Chains A and B, each alone.
Chain A
Amino acid sequence: MSTPKHEFISGARDTFPLLLGAFPFGLIYGALAVTSGLSPAAGMAMAAMVFAGSAQFIAVGLVAAHVPTAIIILTTFIVNLRHMLYSATLLPYLQRLPQRWRIPLAFWLTDETFAVTVRRFQREDGSPFKHWYQLGSSIAMYLNWQFWCGLGLVMGDRIPDASSWGLDVAMPVTFIGMVIPFVRNVPMAVCVLAAGASSLVTLGLPYKLGIIVSAFVGIFSGIITARIAEKTGRRAAA
């Protein structure tokens, strides 16, 4: 029998591998923030208030390049648009919750918590407390992220070349681990290959727009492949 407490702990526990992936990523963010010219307080405030790893990363890169504030905010918007797609996916499961639940779960919605939580929601065991699972995952991610970003800021302040250690490899490696479980059938494989190819031919687009364009290329490729598979399957059966 599932209880809120049990769901909360399971959510935090299932997020553990992603905490490991976030640790070098947080450290390098902190180190980069210091070298970008942002004050340590601003670096910490960004982690605490924005709480979006890849957007924070890109933002400090743009701060270092003296890009105007309005452009950095616009880039943040574009890089984070994928979260709207995540919230659309979770919507049917959270629809009946009051706003006092929806607001914090939205604030804490990250790639990692989404990837872990969506699988919990899709398991049909009738538990009425699955949102506690998401809360557990969210709080684990948040506390872990604040800790490593803070340590990275201190480190960056003390060790000037910390940003050249290559800790940024944590992001692609973590994301690879997150993508693999999704690739269970041909349409999904086509989706991933198409999005990957598109991300390489759209590199010239400004403001990281290639990410959004490639997402749509991947989605359409997946849908079309699924349609074709459905039709040939039906014909084979007939």
Chain B
Amino acid sequence: MSANEWILILGMMAVTFGIRYVLFALADRIRMPQWMASSLQYIPPAVLTAIILPAVLLPKGEWELSFTNAYLIAALAATGIGVLTRNLLATIAVGLAVFFGWRALLGTLL
């Protein structure tokens, strides 16, 4: 590993661990107001959705609103199965299967 790679990885480690740890470290000295505690529940779905949509609508960095976009088809299938079954394993498995199935299908048709 080069010196520059060490700097990159140690830097990334420092900021990542710092973010994850700072509140735990100060835990005894922090008291959170009720309104803040109740608004925290919105964070994970908001952040994850903001990662999901660009990843499936612009999989290669360009808009792809088309049935040939296997990422979009897989995401729609995963959403459908997820809402119906509420089963995480089924959602992921169907999403992956539809993605590769759809790409194979397009490969033979187009």
Residue on A nearest B39 in the bound complex, by CB:
A223
When distances are taken between beta carbons in the complex, the residues of chain B under 8 Å from A210 are 50, 54
Closest Cβ–Cβ distance, residue A21 to chain B (whole Å) = 5
Q: Number of A-B pairs whose CB atoms are under 8 Å?
A: 266
Q: Residue B68 at the A interface, CB < 8 A?
A: no
- Count residues of A near B (Cβ-Cβ below 8 Å): 90
Q: Is A214 a contact of B96 with CB atoms below 8 Å?
A: no
Residue on B nearest A216 in the bound complex, by CB:
B46
Q: Which of these, B11, B21, B44, B52, contacts A107 with CB under 8 Å? A: B21
Chain B contact patch, size range: 35 or more
Q: Is the interface of B mostly helix, strand, loop or mixed?
A: helix
When distances are taken between beta carbons in the complex, the residues of chain A under 8 Å from B20 are 80, 83-84, 86-87, 106-107, 109
Supply 9 A–B pairs (Cβ within 8 Å), ascending by A. Answer: A50-B9, A102-B21, A102-B27, A169-B99, A173-B96, A177-B88, A200-B57, A211-B51, A218-B46
A-B interface, 6 closest residue pairs, ranked by CB to CB distance from nearest: A218-B46, A173-B95, A177-B91, A214-B50, A199-B50, A17-B89
Q: Is B17 a contact of A106 with CB atoms below 8 Å?
A: yes
Q: Is B92 a contact of A177 with CB atoms below 8 Å?
A: yes
Q: Residue A39 at the B interface, CB < 8 A?
A: yes
